[in-house]
Amino acid sequence: MKLNIGVLEVPELDSDKTSYDVAVILEEKYGLFSVYADQYAEVMAQHISEDVAGSMETFLMTGRFPAEPLPQAADAIGKDFQKFIYTREVESVGIPGVPTQAALMGVNKRLKTKKGARRPSFIDSGILESSLKAWFE
C-alpha cells in the first residue's frame, strides 16, 4: 500500500496553470510536500494505525474490509497538510525562502486589487490549499 499526498487538478485563477502545475513548482522550489511528510511522519503513522484498527474491527464484525483503504487516515492527513499551510506552521520549519515574498507583500488573486494584508505562504488564490488531498493505493 502506498500513501500519496498531492492535489486534485483544477484550474488556477487568472492563469493557464492548474493546481497540479503549481504543486510541482512548489515541490521543486521549496520541497513543500516532502517537508510536510517529514514533519508529520509520526502523526500520519498515528492516523494510519487508528484507521487500521477501525478496519480490523469492521472486518471482525462484518467479515469484510472497507472498500476504500484507510479513508479516515487519508482525510486526516489531507486536512493536516492544509492546516500546516493555513496556520503558517510551514513558515517555521526552516525552508529557505519561506515565508515567501508574495505572502509578505500580501499578493492575493482573490482580491480586486490583487494585494492585501500579509497572508500565509502558498495561499494565493486558495485553490492549491483547497485541492490538497491524501489517498492510498
pLDDT at residue 112 in the model: 81
CA-CA distance, 3 to 76, in Å (whole number)?
13
Is the Cα torsion angle 3, 23, 18, 133 positive or negative in sign?
A: positive
pLDDT mean for each 10 residues of the chain (137 residues) = 94 90 96 97 97 91 86 96 96 97 90 87 89 93
CA-CA distance, 14 to 77, in Å (whole number)?
29
pLDDT at residue 13 in the model: 80
| Model confidence, pTM | 0.89
CA-CA distance, 5 to 111, in Å (whole number)?
29
> Could you tell me where the beta strands, DSSP code E, fall in 2-131?
3-7
pLDDT at residue 10 in the model: 94
CA-CA distance, 69 to 77, in Å (whole number)?
14
pLDDT at residue 74 in the model: 96
